Structure 1
């Protein structure tokens, strides 16, 4: 992912072809469009109440049926669940032979579904306009395509370098301080074990991904500057509650790139010492 700046043109093209096949004219996709994609691929959707608790969908390849949670678990139509389940069919995934292949397939399926939910041309146009106005905002990307903040943050990392020329990093951190997901191509140094694994490692308590849990108002956008041995980085963070606890989702850039983002004028800054507040942190122009 880092070697390709988290941008996969062949998956972008596959998403574009799917949307063209169902006549999608642009912008966010509706529930109806997701259903049309399933129908285009030859699958019917069925909502049942007896799927295992940890199962988001079951696909019957022989009878071309896709089963999704119904009843109290369903919570309405899930575009993401439909697209992630069908992505494996589009990409021709078979039973993985090892864990590396399993991870590659998971990355590709998640990427394709995100590229359908937030089409490249539309998302890049939105972000490009924001950059020209120096007001890039993950919240605005989220709202424009009716997705979660985490999905928007992931999608931003796909397009940030390839389409905007920005180096970025992404973190999802549990309230206990442990990293669940991470990506970077901007030089930030994530904590790692002796084998280089990042997931499962504790994050410095002064990083934005941790300090957000001490903020009283977590519904408003939160950002801060963090001084690290690799340089100063700026991050914007949101929290989200799940059955496994509360998580922070952060997107950040090196100090030199913060001029393109909303929230760059935050007075909050931390270092390995005690947190401080800056009267005018970061460039305003």
Structure 2
């Protein structure tokens, strides 16, 4: 272990001098394991031009409770600024109130995301695949435009379905977040890990057609340790505060000594939101 300690000491000394060190592959050496990163690797994002339509798959949102609808709405608005149209295939049980408020929601799905991510319900997995194929046949065009499908509450089971789907649709790119892996103990579930190992190793290099990310650095480390691959940790947008407000706060904060939270609390919309929460 002496060489491991020596390496850690050397890297820390370099970092104090302003240097940065990254491990581009998994390593059992603690000094390298703690510095895993995909920095300098080729971008896995879809090539130019940007897709004109983004398909946000939301299997779970049914009403205004939780983060589902707020996330979809904030993401749709941010995409609109870039000139990208957002379409949201969603659960068939979604409330009429949401459908009236957001015309880009398409109630076509019956299978929840956790049916794929937390169960071995093959019938449910296949039903989701067939429902999604029907949706894509409805949305996708053959005029050369590119489409990006995004799933936040995704899993390896989702990824396997998407890997098959992109073979059918050459214009479709996929970006999914392996949210449901956070609910597994990959260190203990050895059979699960061995079953998925070949696929996860392929996932690391499946871009740009299929890009898989993970929600936290902790899960990134766990996947790196058990599978030996590194998946990106993407930015996590707020589900409650739109990008436009955050950008305004950052701009004001750069010209003011006040904290961002004080500026936020002056926003009438935010104050109303907080009051509603307190009343409940």
The structure whose residues are more often helix, as a share, is 2
Tell which structure's C-alpha radius of gyration is larger: 2
TM-score (normalizing by structure 2):
0.27
The structure whose residues are more often strand, as a share, is 1
**Higher RCO by CA contacts (8 Å cutoff, separation 6 or greater):** 2
